[in-house]
Amino acid sequence: MGRPQFVSSLAGELLYVTPVSGWMPALASFSMRVLGFWKCPGELRGGVGLVRQPEHPLDGFHAVFTTRELGELDSAINLECYHLELARARPTLSERRFLVFPADSAAVQGFGIVGRRRIAA
């Protein structure tokens, strides 16, 4: 495993996540700061952020969001549904070139809408 190579200039930007399925509907929406985006063979496939919301149960968790099996990340970060995985540990780049959390970290997964603006409740 290696260090992810981030490819976007959007690092530091605030994104909003609205849970939609999996473990996520039980959680309130949250925001995260983008740490960067990554490519999987040559195409933008996902990103990683850090949840910084003191009142939220996921505060301090790293959030990896990825496109599904096919498709490219919407580089404009419009509202789109992504697979999400969150854990306290930092993700690393696997041999298959996907961001993964260490096997011993407690991760939660689901799908959520990720975008530059908050979805109205």
- Is residue 65 a part of any domain in this protein? yes
- Is residue 8 a part of any domain in this protein? no
| Residue 63: per-residue pLDDT | 93
Domain extent for 66: 14-115
- Is residue 4 a part of any domain in this protein? no
- Is residue 39 a part of any domain in this protein? yes
pTM: predicted TM-score of the whole model, two decimal places: 0.79
Using DSSP, state whether 27 is helix, strand or coil.
coil
* Cβ proximity of 29 and 15 under 8 Å: no
Domain count, the chain: 1
> pLDDT tens digits, residue range 20-63?
887 765 788 999 999 987 776 667 777 899 999 999 999 999 99
- Is residue 102 a part of any domain in this protein? yes
